[in-house]
Amino acid sequence: MIDRAYLEAAYTAREIEQLAGGPAGEAEADEAVAAAIARATAEVESRLASRYQTPVANPPDELRELCATLARARLYPASRPEYIDERAAEARKYLDDAGQARREIQGLTPRERTGRFAGTRRRRDRTFTRETLSGY
């Protein structure tokens, strides 16, 4: 969905370098950034999967920005500034709203509805009855 160059353009190369523990090209720093981006991408897609087709092939800018926000938050240590957590929470809420049809994200392909959920049970299909529970 995004790469290190996008993250550095969104938040400055210096900040990402400091959070990752080194400049681009250093193995550990590159791994830290790649892991943060992969986890953020997975989180974005999992929050949208109930309504939109995933993986998202051509994400709109709006989605890329949300992914960058989450990836940046993942790069910060546990003692990060409060505003980082607030922005990540806002991004998660935005994605949850989109996944639950309370918000629309243009440019994403809606998931096909397959009809009624196969696991739905009706009252007449009761699993536990007086007879099946006798003796307990």
In a domain, 92, yes or no: yes
Residue 119: what pLDDT? 54
Domain total in the chain: 1
| pLDDT value of residue 14 | 93
Q: Is residue 121 part of a domain?
A: no
Assign 25 a pLDDT band (cuts: 50, 70, 90).
confident
Residue 86 has pLDDT above 90, yes or no: yes
106 falls within a domain: yes
Q: How far apart are CA 16 and CA 1, in angstroms?
A: 17
**Farthest-apart Cα atoms in the chain, separation:** 70
Domain region containing 19: 4-112
Residue 128 domain flag: no
CB of 37 closer than 8 Å to CB of 86? no
SS3 state of residue 44: helix
Asked, for residue 27, whether it belongs to a domain, the answer is yes
